[in-house]
Structure 1
Amino acid sequence: MDMKNLNDIEKKNEIDFIDCYSKEEMVQQSLMETDTASSSEESSEGKLEKGDENVGRGNWSGRLDFLLSCIGYAVGLGNIWRFPYLCYQSGGGAFLIPYVIFLVLCGMPLFFLEISYGQFSSLSPVAVWKISPLFKGVGYGMVIVSGIVCVYYNIIITWTIYFFYHSLRAVLPWSTCDNQWNTQKCYIRGESINLTHSSVQSFLQFNSSEVNTTIAPQPSGNVNETSNATKVTASEEFWQNEVLQITEGIEDLGVVRWELLICLAVAWTVIFLCLCKGVKSSGRVVYVTATFPYLVLIILFIRGVTLPGAGAGIYFYLVPKWEKLLTFQVWGDAAVQIFYSVGMAWGGLITMASFNKFNNNCYRDAMIVPLINCGTSVFAGLVIFSVLGFMSYETGVAIDKVVTQGPGLAFVVYPEAVARLPISPLWAVLFFLMLFAVGLDTQFGMFETMTSAFVDEFPELLKNRKVLFTAFFCFIEFMLGIPCVTQGGIYVLQIMDWYCATFSLMLLSLTECVVIAWIYGTDRFYQDIELMIGYQPCMWWKICWKFITPVTIAFVWLFSVTQLSPVKYGNYEYPNAAIVMGWMLGLASLLPIPICAIIAILREKGSLVDRIKKLVRHTEDWGPAVEKHRVRYLQTLQDSQESLDSVLCTLH
């Protein structure tokens, strides 16, 4: 090797060959200074709640806080109202094969990736991009998606509160046709001989695993043979005429539904009270909100399987249809379901992991939460279809004529089935309490993502004003949600849902995976993980992060794009201006990526290539936030550098 090449190596690695040992002395001095700072920091820990090791941000108070928060965040409404229908439609028990495959290839690797680097850095989705500042826009994209979804996700909680209120009476209002909102088209399924062979009326469909949905009424020709007039079930008339009071289209939003506005205010008040102290308050709440849905599911399951016809419903749900596995649609649906249900690329997992103590076993948590999420989806299907089997037995209407998904299941079909049970208000109250708790947990993760992102970016301004800042954000989100509680609000909600996260989440997640696996490097990332949990995971995760998972995400994105069509609501077609607004919402979370990259490049000095090289590398202050762990981190960097120094010094 000639001297010219050696000089190039010296410049690239910034190594002083005049004295190979002088660098080691400098590093040791740096470590001593860091250790001194660590001691000073430890002496101030008494100011925080007992057990906190992060003076700046605090930590989860209990051992199970993080695990329960992740379970509550990942197990969302889609597990209850989307997966059961998708499983039945896509081959029953056979659907579990592609579902589990994509869980292993995409869901678990991405879950492990996000909570690992979130825990390692103790930073929110924006500040965490010290790992590669050129891609800081990915963090802003996550925050924007969570912010938009927070607006309309709380509308679903609003509907749940409204149904819960109406469940607190002796006779459920959607069980009869003698209410002021009922029309002459109203009927009780199974009571009219002429209607026993009719199918389900127009209902809403929420085509999503978590919150990415498609709401559309599906008219299906329920016709009275005598009058030739379309009939509508009592439960659907309650939904359309009383809850929504829906207008003809987005051009006519009508007036604000004051009852829903009050419920929306209640929902945001609950969110504020649970998150006003950050993870210190939400960490306690999740012990109830994350476990209560399982208690209700077990109770509803026990009640469901004891009903006549339940066995037929469960058989209808799980009977394998192996030929379905030969269709591309089934594999695409399984991939999309996994991607949205586990909660990647929303920023919530990174945020919650950032409040972990540094040595928390994130590897164990990354295995537990996706498996619980998957199991919950399957179990929820048993609960739903056992009751639908009972309704089919009672009414004589085939299960495939009443089964649906989304709000059509949660606010039309299932309430109709519950109304036929003895002591029906009790089961309705339990069901809507469960939906409320499930929605609340997911909302916690998304909302905390927004507030923590800004607090971490502007700590001097917001760190000591987080309660006030949380109240401010709740108010802003409340105001943005008001158009969704007008009479035509569901048309607005449909646009927000249809476009805001359909394709952007995949691109955010793909960028995140590629940057960490190929730019930061899996070898360095494995050393970071070892620093936290004491050992390096098996090679499988490296292979996934570098090859399998990016390819899988690309497949999911292509499938989603090919399935994307202009937004509709039943037979109603949106005007072009509304569609343009939808695309603007969809692009809002992607635009920060190039914008932030360009701004970062312009702020740097040097040639374009030098600027980019500097920005793709992690910053000098990247690493553990707590100084005592930063000492260990710097030591690993020193050990790695010493190996290289030894070789280069010998060559010199």
Structure 2
Amino acid sequence: MDDKTKTKMQMFEKDDDISEDSSSKDDGREREVWSRKIEYILSLVGYSVGLGNLWRFPYLCIRNGGGAFLIPFFFFLFLCGVPLYFMEICLGQYSGKSALVAWSSIAPLFKGIGFLMIIISGIVSWYYNLVITWVIYYLIHAFFPHIPWATCDNEWNTDTCIVSRADRLLMTNTTSLVNVSEMINGSTDGNAYNLTDTNSDNRTTLTYNTAAFEFWQYNVLKKSSGIEDLGEVQWHLVLCLFGAWLFTFLCLIKGIYSVGKVVYVTVILPYLLLTIFLIRGLTLDGATEGILFYLRPDFSRLLHFQVWLEAAVQVFFSLGPAWGSLITMSSYSKFKNNCLKDAMYGTLADGLSSFYAGFVVFSILGFMAHDAGLTMEEVSEAGPGLVFVAYPEAIMKLPLPHLWGVLFFLMLITVGIDSQFGMFETVSSGLVDSFPSQLKERKVQLTAALSVILFILGLPFTTQGGIYVFQLIDWYASTLCIVLGSFLECIVISWIYGAERFSRNISMMTGRSAPLVMRICWCIFTPLILLVVFLGNITQYGPPNTAQYTYPDYAAVVGNLFAIIPLLPIPILAVVQLFKEKGSIIQRVKHACEPDENWGPIEGGQFLKEYQYEGNVQKNMLINLIGDRNV
């Protein structure tokens, strides 16, 4: 770099700490910025740390070797999670554009990636609020003088209801235990017990369910026999779903300004409550055994491909790359912000939060196993069964159950709502950036309209068969799309746009090029791992059947549609873009692979564009292979 260039670069150098207050618009830019650096960091952490950290990660540890599972998890976190996280926040910060517009500008041939991200975020926002709906319903009942999942004298309870798992021991005088497992929502659950009456000539087998299980099944869900029988709309869920969307709207009413204030509560409070639960859990009998069971490594499990596959999938689902939210949130960051530090903050917060949550979860599960005389395998669960059955039952065993119930479900709301913010803002910001003249001054109305539309579309989830619809869409909608979208991101940035050119973009913002290890990961390791994970998921792809329920064939067709729809814009828009270009097919591809006239830094103007190509920096790998375009 010559002296003239260095002098010009000094004009753009700023301190990367934006912890002080800032105005709504930075110098030389039209897009708003986060008021404080801490608000941006908290938003990243809140988006990445979600309900999956609480109800999926600890269960995966138990199923895949305990403490040994941490090896593949953190391996993929640093080899795939950090590079993808870093790439996306750099892309958003440099361009100052949402995911939809950024991908349309940097590589017009692959503008479908932006549409993939906004469609995935829209679909997940649509059904994710159902989880918040369930939590709100439980939170309301935690204030009742008579907590309904504490007893078997409610109108929905069956004759075979038992208050807790420990009560099964009282029944062994007249019955003999036959089986202690049932599949609920795709995971092993110990809430239902098949007992054979030894005093009966016919040796009748009865199924005994815990009170917490029956409240979940027969009051909250009023679950039907299957997806083919949706049944009636449950108005208690409709009202709670409305409340979930109203809460989402109020938190997003002022865009990043309202979100920036809400995250102080929704991000910090869960850690405070988790710590309170951990301290309380450690005082309970059996907690130590539960934690030791959680951490005890079984290194032989690392020889199984499935363990590594599940670790990789957990990283992608937890961090949320290829959903567009990281690009959108970072597009409101200051141009000179230190992207690398932000990426490390976000990824480490996610990984360490998952690890920390495991101590909380298994201290309570250890207590439950000790109290009921069961093994850890019999009380360990994943998904809704953990937070809506196992934990409510455990809460009733504690002193002041009302207090612990309120704190627990309040924690779940604050953990879950942050992820909803990120996905919803991806959709709304993408629409605003696509139609700025029509929507920029109507962001509040757009947020309200989207909330109403998604609320209405979410009504099928509130039916008696809504849980089956929820599971089907959750299973298909993002599994393959996330991995394939992340793979395409790496290919476009590293081999089409050019890793060296992208590193120059980062240098404009931070004064430092992207670390060499990041560029190697972008070009080689991360896409290779993503490709293996994608193929591994393909071989195991099928409906989310359980031991109790098998989805009909048409449900698999519907589920595959949700898996394919986000991917369709990629080939369709690529063909459309090629038709718009002129020349031979090779020339059209070259044109479409180069950034359009709208691509560039949000600050610095033409000088930074010129600096980007200073020297012998190749424009992209494709052009390097087949030669410069000649039109």
User: What TM-score do you get using the length of structure 1 for normalisation?
Assistant: 0.87
Q: Which amino acid aligns with 2:98?
A: S
Is the aligned partner of 1:404 residue 2:381?
yes
Q: Which residue of 1 aligns with 2:569?
A: 592
Shift of 1:300: 0.2
Aligned match for 2:348, one of 371, 386, 390: 371
Using the alignment, how far apart are the partners of 1:53 and 1:75 within structure 2? Answer: 32
Deviations 1:24-64 (A, max 9, x none): xxx99xx9xxx9xx9xxxxxxxxx94563465321111111
Q: Which residue of 2 aligns with 1:345?
A: 322
**CA distance 1:611–1:256, shift in 2 (3 Å):** same
Q: Which amino acid aligns with 1:170?
A: P
Using the alignment, how far apart are the partners of 1:389 and 1:345 within structure 2? Answer: 37
Q: Which residue of 2 aligns with 1:568?
A: 545
Using the alignment, how far apart are the partners of 1:384 and 1:198 within structure 2? Answer: 28
Aligned match for 2:61, one of 74, 83, 87: 87
Using the alignment, how far apart are the partners of 1:418 and 1:115 within structure 2? Answer: 40
Q: Which residue of 2 aligns with 1:105?
A: 79
Shift of 1:570: 4.4
Aligned match for 1:307, one of 284, 293, 296: 284
| Corresponding pairs, count | 592
Deviations 1:584-623 (A, max 9, x none): 1110000000011111111222222211110101112211
Shift of 1:434: 0.8
Question: What secondary structure, in the 3-state scheme, does the structure 1 residue paired with 2:121 have?
Answer: helix
Aligned match for 1:136, one of 102, 106, 111: 111
Q: Which residue of 1 aligns with 2:623?
A: none
Q: Which amino acid aligns with 1:611?
A: R
- Within a 5 Å distance, the mapping from 1:577-588 to structure 2 comes to 577-588=554-565
Q: Which amino acid aligns with 2:215?
A: F
Q: Which residue of 2 aligns with 1:522?
A: 499
Aligned match for 1:253, one of 225, 230, 246: 230
Q: Which residue of 2 aligns with 1:549?
A: 526
Is the aligned partner of 1:604 residue 2:573?
no
Q: Which residue of 2 aligns with 1:288?
A: 265
Aligned residues of 2:501 and 2:613 also touching (Cα < 8 A): no
Using the alignment, how far apart are the partners of 2:57 and 2:479 within structure 1? Answer: 17
**CA distance 1:155–1:576, shift in 2 (3 Å):** same
Deviations 1:326-363 (A, max 9, x none): 11111111111111111111111111011101011111
Q: Which residue of 1 aligns with 2:201?
A: none
Using the alignment, how far apart are the partners of 1:526 and 1:267 within structure 2? Answer: 41
Q: Which residue of 1 aligns with 2:18?
A: none
Aligned match for 2:158, one of 175, 183, 189: 183
Shift of 1:292: 0.9
What stretches of structure 2 of length at least 5 have no aligned partner? 13-21, 199-203, 620-631
Is the aligned partner of 1:325 residue 2:302?
yes
Shift of 1:572: 2.1
Deviations 1:252-287 (A, max 9, x none): 211111011000000000111111211111111111
Aligned match for 1:223, one of 180, 190, 195: 195
**CA distance 1:554–1:374, shift in 2 (3 Å):** same
Shift of 1:565: 1.9
Deviations 1:290-343 (A, max 9, x none): 111101100000000011111011111111111111111111111111111111
Aligned match for 1:68, one of 42, 56, 78: 42
Is the aligned partner of 1:164 residue 2:146?
no
Question: What secondary structure, in the 3-state scheme, does the structure 2 residue paired with 1:507 have?
Answer: helix
Is the aligned partner of 1:121 residue 2:85?
no
Q: Which residue of 1 aligns with 2:125?
A: 150
Q: Which residue of 1 aligns with 2:184?
A: 204
Using the alignment, how far apart are the partners of 2:59 and 2:249 within structure 1? Answer: 33
Aligned residues of 1:275 and 1:444 also touching (Cα < 8 A): yes
Is the aligned partner of 1:426 residue 2:406?
no
Aligned residues of 1:223 and 1:231 also touching (Cα < 8 A): yes
Using the alignment, how far apart are the partners of 1:322 and 1:634 within structure 2? Answer: 51
Is the aligned partner of 1:78 residue 2:52?
yes
Aligned residues of 1:141 and 1:592 also touching (Cα < 8 A): yes
Using the alignment, how far apart are the partners of 1:586 and 1:451 within structure 2? Answer: 22
Question: What secondary structure, in the 3-state scheme, does the structure 2 residue paired with 1:255 have?
Answer: coil
**CA distance 1:544–1:415, shift in 2 (3 Å):** same
Aligned residues of 2:190 and 2:378 also touching (Cα < 8 A): no
> Greater CA radius of gyration, 1 or 2?
1
Is the aligned partner of 1:389 residue 2:366?
yes
Shift of 1:480: 0.9
What stretches of structure 1 of length at least 5 have no aligned partner? 1-26, 39-47, 206-213, 645-652
Using the alignment, how far apart are the partners of 1:219 and 1:403 within structure 2? Answer: 11
**CA distance 1:64–1:204, shift in 2 (3 Å):** farther
Is the aligned partner of 1:484 residue 2:461?
yes
Deviations 1:131-190 (A, max 9, x none): 111000011011111111111100000000001011112342112111111001111221
**CA distance 1:50–1:588, shift in 2 (3 Å):** closer
Using the alignment, how far apart are the partners of 2:368 and 2:531 within structure 1? Answer: 41
Using the alignment, how far apart are the partners of 1:585 and 1:223 within structure 2? Answer: 41
Using the alignment, how far apart are the partners of 2:116 and 2:405 within structure 1? Answer: 38
Q: Which amino acid aligns with 2:129?
A: N
Q: Which amino acid aligns with 1:190?
A: A
Shift of 1:192: 3.9
Q: Which residue of 1 aligns with 2:249?
A: 272
Q: Which amino acid aligns with 1:498?
A: W
Question: What secondary structure, in the 3-state scheme, does the structure 1 residue paired with 2:323 have?
Answer: coil
Q: Which residue of 1 aligns with 2:15?
A: none
Aligned residues of 2:501 and 2:618 also touching (Cα < 8 A): no
User: What TM-score do you get using the length of structure 2 for normalisation?
Assistant: 0.90
Using the alignment, how far apart are the partners of 1:147 and 1:323 within structure 2? Answer: 40
Aligned residues of 1:216 and 1:569 also touching (Cα < 8 A): no
Aligned residues of 1:517 and 1:546 also touching (Cα < 8 A): yes
Deviations 1:626-646 (A, max 9, x none): 3xx2244134146337999xx
Shift of 1:221: 5.2
**CA distance 1:234–1:219, shift in 2 (3 Å):** closer
Q: Which amino acid aligns with 1:91?
A: G
Shift of 1:436: 0.5
Aligned residues of 1:53 and 1:59 also touching (Cα < 8 A): no
Q: Which residue of 2 aligns with 1:18?
A: none
Shift of 1:215: 7.1
Aligned residues of 2:99 and 2:118 also touching (Cα < 8 A): yes
Deviations 1:5-30 (A, max 9, x none): xxxxxxxxxxxxxxxxxxxxxx99xx
Shift of 1:199: 6.3
Q: Which amino acid aligns with 2:528?
A: V
Aligned residues of 2:106 and 2:594 also touching (Cα < 8 A): yes
Q: Which residue of 1 aligns with 2:33?
A: 59
Identity within the alignment, % = 48
